[in-house]
Amino acid sequence: MPLISLSDIHHTYSGTAQAVPALRGVSIDIDPGEFVAIIGPSGSGKSTLLNIIGTLEKPSQGRYLFDNRDVTTIPERDLARLRATRIGFVFQNFNLIDHLTVYQNIELGLRYRRDHLRGRRELVMEAMDRVGMGHRADHLPRQLSGGQQQRCAIARAIVGQPAIVLADEPTGNLDSRNAAQTLGILKELNDKGTTLIIVTHALSQADQASRTIEMHDGRIHLSSRRLS
């Protein structure tokens, strides 16, 4: 059974004088444990599709099942809990809180969980160790390199042990060495069973995914699986 199932998804931005269609009838299934790369030119609908998968936006039309549950009908409070417990987000600009330490930023990923203090600490320490940031627990974001900030952001995304990690241009602000390290961490998570979906302009990264989805003008132009 697919973890993600999108059927005839449309999305239109109507906040301007003229409505702007971003997605035009997207249908796709994503199985548990897949590594999917979404590529395409700017304005093709990549990030809108990722936001809808992550329930950050609701489609204007269509049906979206997450783990066989229709999320288009779920109240916002329940959607927030779904995001916090089942979905991890990694962004190009890291989105760390400047005045919080690495440990505190990662702990934010557990804000909807009811673990007692010791349980939360164990989860945070495990997430930091997985990305090699245990020695930076007390540092502030401004004391970190770009690669270290992104590793902290990945730890925050995975601390709640989500079923799926969504990454929007996760290496866009990194040099080639840190970009390779970041992708390596994400691939390791996928190798251990986490479903991974990334939006990227880097074809070299897309080539490492088990499936590539190419978008143009709000539609899926091509969906291809890598031959093992």
Compute the C-alpha angle 35/201/63, nearest 5°. 55
89 pLDDT more than 80 = yes
Which pLDDT band, with edges at 50, 70 and 90, does 227 fall under?
A: low
Tell me, what's the pLDDT at 115?
62
Q: How many CB atoms lie within 10 A of CB 161?
A: 15
> How far is residue 174's CA from residue 197's CA, in Å, rounded to a whole number?
19
- The answer to which of 4-8, 25-29, 83-87, 224-228 has the lowest mean pLDDT is 224-228
CA atoms in the 13 A half-sphere facing the CB of 151: 24
Structure tokens at 133: 């940031």
58 pLDDT more than 70 = yes
> How far is residue 53's CA from residue 197's CA, in Å, rounded to a whole number?
9
Average pLDDT, rounded, for the chain: 91
> How far is residue 41's CA from residue 60's CA, in Å, rounded to a whole number?
22
Tell me, what's the pLDDT at 202?
86
Which pLDDT band, with edges at 50, 70 and 90, does 153 fall under?
A: very high
Which pLDDT band, with edges at 50, 70 and 90, does 117 fall under?
A: low
17 pLDDT more than 70 = no
Report all structural domains of the chain as residue ranges with CATH numbers, in order of start: 4-97+163-225 (3.40.50.300)
The pLDDT of 132-143, averaged and rounded, is 95
Question: pTM of this prediction?
Answer: 0.92
114 pLDDT more than 70 = no
16 pLDDT more than 70 = no
185 pLDDT more than 80 = yes
Tell me, what's the pLDDT at 224?
87
Please report, for residues 69, 95, 130, 189, the alpha-carbon distance to residue 176 in angstroms, rounded to integers and kept in the order given: 39, 21, 21, 20
Rounded to 10 degrees, what is the CA torsion of 83, 84, 88, 89?
A: 70
SS3 sequence, the chain? CCCEEEEEEEEEECCCCCCEEEEEEEEEEECCCCEEEEECCCCCCHHHHHHHHCCCCCCCEEEEEECCEEHHHCCHHHHHHHHHHHEEEEECCCCCCCCCCHHHHHHHHHCCCCCCHHHHHHHHHHHHHHCCCHHHCCCCHHHCCHHHHHHHHHHHHHCCCCCEEEEECCCCCCCHHHHHHHHHHHHHHHHCCCEEEEECCCHHHHCCCCEEEEEECCEEEEEEECCC
> How far is residue 134's CA from residue 101's CA, in Å, rounded to a whole number?
12
